[in-house]
Amino acid sequence: MADHGDRVDVEQHRADVAELLAPLADRPQEVVPLHQDVLGRVLARDVTAPGALPRFRNSQMDGFAVRAADVAPAAPGVPVTLPVAGDVAAAPGEPAPLEPGTAVRIMTGAPLPAGADAVVPVEDTDHLTFNGSADTSGGGTVAVVRPRTAGEYVREPGSDVAAGDVVLRAGTVLAPHHVAAAAACGITRLPVLVPVSVAVVSTGSELVPPDGEPGPGQVWDANGPALEAAVRAAGGRVGLRVSVPDDPEVVRVALERAAALCDLVLTTGGVSQGAYEVVKDALPEVTFRSVAMQPGGPQGLGQVGGRPVLAFPGNPVSAQVSFVVFLRDLLRRAGGLPPVDRVTAVLDGAVASPPGRRQLLRGRWVRDDAVAGTPRVAVVGGPGSHLVASMAAADVLIDVPAATTTLEPGAEVAVWPL
């Protein structure tokens, strides 16, 4: 391809797309039951505890609930012996109050009887262990060999969280331990951000659907399934996925419908310099430009029906690279997710690159456990933008700056994880 002087720099196009999509970051909220899959969803606002946790005073140990004053004189060799009135297990109900001068066996998490203010661990008594010996009737005695002050081994109500305290912060990406905290507080529903809804519109008269049988000149639509997967992987939702022929009227109708249904419209195909560029024809109000990058040079951005639209090239490799470079992080950020960090890696071989265009080469990690430090990458497949099957062997995109024409083995490069 000859070099045109009017190419737009990759970072300029990234900035323009970011400006176009900025309104998407103003997400609406929805409430999701905790028993649905909330993992990876993003909390829309702070969530507070409806009540205190622990809910009631309870024992931190298997041991004996006592009045601290009763065991104050205890010491090794000089035990305090108390009658045992019975057991308190972690079970429903209010235990009977503790009579002064007595003890009850108490299990971890069981409610402290009224009147008790400390727990003596079973190891600090002549029982040593309970070992599964249930005894609800009482009648025995316990010799306490160590004093305990009031409050020892007692979990006070609200010592984990008080009613009204923030348990989960807005912006939290929900993980299992957040589910644990919510469930422990009796929270059954969580307010989360509504994912960005994206319409994926593949254009091209040559396309047949995934389950179709292509005839001469026809190919399967790879961009529809692949961009749907890419949108989902970036935390978005696909609100519409269609494939339309190269007819500007049909494309226009499809894009207006897509804009009415979704937050963002994504098209593939019909944006290049050929004679049949249907997206260009259907969207005269959109800016089409050549970005100084390979693959993925031809790009469009603008609005249709008041919604942002991004037009990617139709080649599946170009479309995937366009998604990673221009949309993935913006979609993640709009939905409250952190961006995918670019990583510094060391090249495992030499790379030649044409001048004036940023190359995004498909690369794979080279595992070498013997060498610590910077990870290594090697180029896979060729630079051809039609090598979509070869792209399956890639782990990353290797980012070769526009001004670079050769990179020696061992050179440091930035890579985008796929």
Residue 387: phi and psi, rounded to 5, are -85, 65
399 interacts with a second copy by CB under 8 A: no
SS3 20: helix
Please pick, from the candidates 176, 306, 355, 373, the single residue that binds a second copy as defined by CB under 8 A. 176
Please pick, from the candidates 22, 75, 96, 175, the single residue that binds a second copy as defined by CB under 8 A. 175
Enumerate residues 222-261 that contact a second copy by CB under 8 A: 222-230, 232-233, 246
Please pick, from the candidates 141, 303, 390, 404, the single residue that binds a second copy as defined by CB under 8 A. 390
Please pick, from the candidates 391, 400, 413, 415, the single residue that binds a second copy as defined by CB under 8 A. 391
Residue 387 — left, alpha, or beta (φ > 0 → left; ψ -120 to 50 → alpha)?
beta
Q: In the bound complex, what is the minimum distance in angstroms from residue 309's beta carbon to a second copy?
A: 18
Q: In the bound complex, what is the minimum distance in angstroms from residue 377's beta carbon to a second copy?
A: 15
Please pick, from the candidates 16, 21, 54, 251, the single residue that binds a second copy as defined by CB under 8 A. 54
If the CB atoms of residues 254 and 406 are measured against a second copy, the closer one turns out to be: 254
Q: In the bound complex, what is the minimum distance in angstroms from residue 276's beta carbon to a second copy?
A: 5
If the CB atoms of residues 214 and 410 are measured against a second copy, the closer one turns out to be: 214
Choose one: 200-208, 260-268, 368-376, 401-409; the region binding a second copy (CB under 8 A). 200-208
Enumerate residues 208-227 that contact a second copy by CB under 8 A: 210-211, 214-227
Residue partners of 285: CB distance under 8 A and separation at least 6: 302, 303, 304
Please pick, from the candidates 72, 130, 145, 354, the single residue that binds a second copy as defined by CB under 8 A. 130
Q: Mask: binding to a second copy, 84-123, rule CB under 8 A, as x and -?
A: ---x-xxxxxxx---------x-xxxxx---------xxx
CA-to-CA dists, residue 30 to 104, 129, 190, 198, angstroms: 48, 50, 8, 17
31 interacts with a second copy by CB under 8 A: no
If the CB atoms of residues 60 and 404 are measured against a second copy, the closer one turns out to be: 60
325 interacts with a second copy by CB under 8 A: no
Q: In the bound complex, what is the minimum distance in angstroms from residue 173's beta carbon to a second copy?
A: 10
Nearest CA among 376, 382, 380, 381 for reference residue 412: 376
If the CB atoms of residues 35 and 409 are measured against a second copy, the closer one turns out to be: 35
- Rg of the chain (C-alpha set): 33
Q: In the bound complex, what is the minimum distance in angstroms from residue 291's beta carbon to a second copy?
A: 16
- Residue 207 and residue 270: Cα distance in Å, rounded? 13
41 interacts with a second copy by CB under 8 A: no
- Residue 400 and residue 403: Cα distance in Å, rounded? 8
Beta bridge partners of 43: 192
Nearest CA among 250, 345, 225, 298 for reference residue 7: 298
Choose one: 70-78, 128-136, 337-345, 368-376; the region binding a second copy (CB under 8 A). 128-136
If the CB atoms of residues 176 and 306 are measured against a second copy, the closer one turns out to be: 176
Amino acid code (one letter) for 235: G
Nearest CA among 254, 274, 256, 295 for reference residue 384: 295
DSSP code string of 193-214: EPPPEEEEEEE-TTEE-TTS--
Amino acid code (one letter) for 39: L
207-208 and 287-290 strand pairing: unpaired
If the CB atoms of residues 69 and 86 are measured against a second copy, the closer one turns out to be: 86
- Residue 237 and residue 24: Cα distance in Å, rounded? 13
The answer to whether 191 and 29 are in contact (CB under 8 A) is yes
